[in-house]
Amino acid sequence: MRNLRAVFQQEGCNRDDWTFISDRMRGVDLAVHENFPRATRRCCSQHLYMNCKNGGWSGELFHKLFWIAANAFNPYVFNKAIEKITDFDPNATKYLDTCTEQWSRHQFDPEVCCDHNTTNFVESFNALTKSYRDLPVLTLFEAIRQWAMQRIGVRFDKAVNMEPHQLTEYARQELELRGAESRFCYSTPCGGGEYEVRDGNVHFPVRIDTRRCGCGGAAYKQTYAEHMHPMPDPSQWPEYSLPTINPPGIKRSAGRPPKQRKRNAMEAKKRKRHSSVKCGKCKEMGHNARTCKNGAGSSKAPPKQRAPTKKRKASSDGASTSKAPPKGKRSKQA
């Protein structure tokens, strides 16, 4: 954390109101509080659920209730899920109540225009570096730099050509989805920018004048205001009188180095590209023509019988003799 703050200060950024999300590793909260006092702390809901499973709270019911509480955007849905979790096991509720503001969306700071409660975006970046993991360190950094430069360059050109009040593609899709879902809601104006919104049998108070959004073109342009510049060939780099750092001596273990990350017990197994087979005889899925048992035409053909071979008679002196060739045919001379 100290090195991260030093990098921010070196780039002229003295802000400390960042948002950090990670698992509940010991020491992270203390390090964040010492270096970024005003930072917002979040806990990955997936890691939190794995901690609950290790504590003995698991099962399909608990899994469903936990994610309802984690993704709830209002206290009503959250409290209903917590009540059912309490009926399941009161100790689970006591454990989750210790850091509710770090994993449940309804208690996130509205000033932070981000509703992520998992570290899936980090896993996406790890999947990106899968094909580069066995490369040397500098080659690995160069591959990641080229990918980031190309990606940010495309976003930079897109941000420059955006209209002042144009929404991003993601924000537009979210707005259309919320607009389609809002057809089932009814609002009653109360005056002063206040509304009472009814969704079925549930009522929610809404204030329009105090809501702010950072999903417009201004936030997008600010995010991609700077782009990465191209890097010259290593032969043109400036020379520095620095000591040579050699890589550590690592003993290579037996076998091929693995590239697939280790999945935990709760993750679904990776699907194969061709998980189903189509039969060439009955045209049904799930088996092939060799193991087909549907229809009379799918029976296996009897195996071909081999022609009997003529045995040679052994003479008394140990030499083998054969029958004389038939009449009309001349035998080949040796």
Identify the burial level of 309 via C-beta atoms within 10 angstroms of its C-beta, where 0-12 means exposed, 13-18 middle and 19 or more buried: exposed
Q: Please tell me the predicted confidence (pLDDT) of residue 86.
A: 92
Q: Please tell me the predicted confidence (pLDDT) of residue 17.
A: 78
Say what the pTM is: 0.55
Q: CA separation (Å) from 67 to 84, 85, 115?
A: 12, 11, 14
State the greatest distance between any 2 C-alpha atoms of the chain, in Å, as a whole number.
124
Name the stretches of the chain with pLDDT < 70: 210-221, 264-275, 295-334
Q: Please tell me the predicted confidence (pLDDT) of residue 316.
A: 52
Cβ atoms 129, 144 nearer than 8 A: yes
| DSSP sequence for 146-202 | HHHHHHHHHHHHHHHT--TTPPPHHHHHHHHHHHHHGGGEEEEEEETTEEEEEETTE
Name residue 37's amino acid: P
Identify the burial level of 77 via C-beta atoms within 10 angstroms of its C-beta, where 0-12 means exposed, 13-18 middle and 19 or more buried: middle
Which letter does DSSP use for residue 285 in this model? B
Integer Cα distance of 222 and 160 in angstroms: 10
Q: Please tell me the predicted confidence (pLDDT) of residue 243.
A: 82
Q: Please tell me the predicted confidence (pLDDT) of residue 298.
A: 44
Integer Cα distance of 242 and 46 in angstroms: 43
Q: Please tell me the predicted confidence (pLDDT) of residue 212.
A: 42
Phi, psi (degrees; rounded to nearest 5) at 321 = -120, 155
Cβ atoms 43, 118 nearer than 8 A: no
Integer Cα distance of 158 and 152 in angstroms: 10
Instruction: Tell me the β-bridge partners of 186.
Output: 198
Cβ atoms 221, 162 nearer than 8 A: yes
